[in-house]
Structure 1
Amino acid sequence: MADQQLSPQQAVNLVREWWTALGNNQQDKVLELLHEDIIWEVKFVGKWLPSEGVSRGKQAVAKNCIEMFGLMYDTDRLSVEITNMISDGRSVVIEFFIDGYTASGAAYEKVEYVSIVELEGSKVKHVREYMDALKATSAHQLT
């Protein structure tokens, strides 16, 4: 039996819970909210990431996105601030910024992001993540 579609507000609440857990480096909580067949695409800076920034399946996402987040940032000095969310119940568009420091101590100053998050029932199934690539590559010293 297929999962019921969430209401737009339920979808927003689920994605807010998921991004908050990621920002707080609560890896188990983040994984709990992911679909087994998740696809996570990191646009613009993907060429510096494993598999050109596209991870398929929960294990690959755990390694290439969630664990990497904890390695790339000083999560004790990092905040994620959500500025806007809109949903139809199946998808959520979320605007946010990350403020803080990279793991190497470089300032990561209000780097803006937009993510399109597709849901299947109460699980995150597909993420397309866009960010201010200029700020992100500069902070992480990518060339």
Structure 2
Amino acid sequence: MQTISTKLSPDAAKTLVRDWWTALGKYDEDKFLALLDENVVWEVKFVGHWLPNNGVTRGKAMAATNCIGLYGEMYDVARTSFNITNMVSDGDTVVIEFFIDGYTSAGARYDKVEYVSIVQLKDGKVTQVREYMDALKAKEAHSL
């Protein structure tokens, strides 16, 4: 029996992605992981060579380690926030612009580093992420 994928409305897709990013920003691992597909692929562009697997994470278990786990290691999560500035969606894809403002775990200022992520959805779960950022600011903040 073939299962039929259901496409979210653009507003529902934006809400799902907003909830997902907010969970990461609040370091809410359970909620963050609950919104990921088991076979998610997350690609971090430009600075990926400084990250595990050249910035490509495959699977929910690896996302727990390489995404939210690494976020907790790289940033002072109590003093760091995600701020969404724009979102557009067709229901299957959400493009989100945001910045991260706060501090690295080493205490360096992470001053409004801008990001754009293209998030693919299927059946109410995040299946793919392609993340782009102001690589120069990120590199300098982390002393890379």
Q: Deviations over 1:87-116 (max 9, x none)?
A: 000000000000000000000000000000
Q: 1:15 aligns with which of 17, 20, 23?
A: 17
Aligned residue in 2 for 1:88: 90
2 CA distance for matches of 1:49 and 1:15? 23
2 CA distance for matches of 1:42 and 1:61? 12
Aligned residue in 2 for 1:59: 61
1:138 aligns with 2:140: yes
Paired-residue identity, %: 63
2 CA distance for matches of 1:65 and 1:77? 18
Would you identify which runs of 4 or more consecutive aligned residues in structure 1 move more than 2 Å?
A: none
1:109 aligns with 2:111: yes
* Counterpart residue identity of residue 41, structure 1: E
Higher percent of residues as strand: 1
For residue 3 of structure 1, report the CA deviation from its aligned partner.
3.3
For residue 74 of structure 1, report the CA deviation from its aligned partner.
0.3
Aligned residue in 2 for 1:4: 6
TM score, norm. by length of structure 1 = 0.98
1 CA distance for matches of 2:5 and 2:13? 13
Contiguous gaps of at least 5 residues in structure 2: none
For residue 57 of structure 1, report the CA deviation from its aligned partner.
0.7
1 CA distance for matches of 2:44 and 2:4? 28
Aligned residue in 1 for 2:128: 126
For residue 121 of structure 1, report the CA deviation from its aligned partner.
1.3
Contiguous gaps of at least 5 residues in structure 1: none
TM score, norm. by length of structure 2 = 0.97
CA RMSD of aligned residues (A): 0.6
Aligned residue in 2 for 1:68: 70
Secondary structure of 2:87's aligned partner: strand
* Counterpart residue identity of residue 68, structure 2: I
CA contact (8 A) 1:3 1:122 kept: no
Aligned residue in 1 for 2:41: 39
2 CA distance for matches of 1:43 and 1:2? 32
* Counterpart residue identity of residue 71, structure 1: E
2 CA distance for matches of 1:26 and 1:121? 22
1:25 aligns with 2:63: no
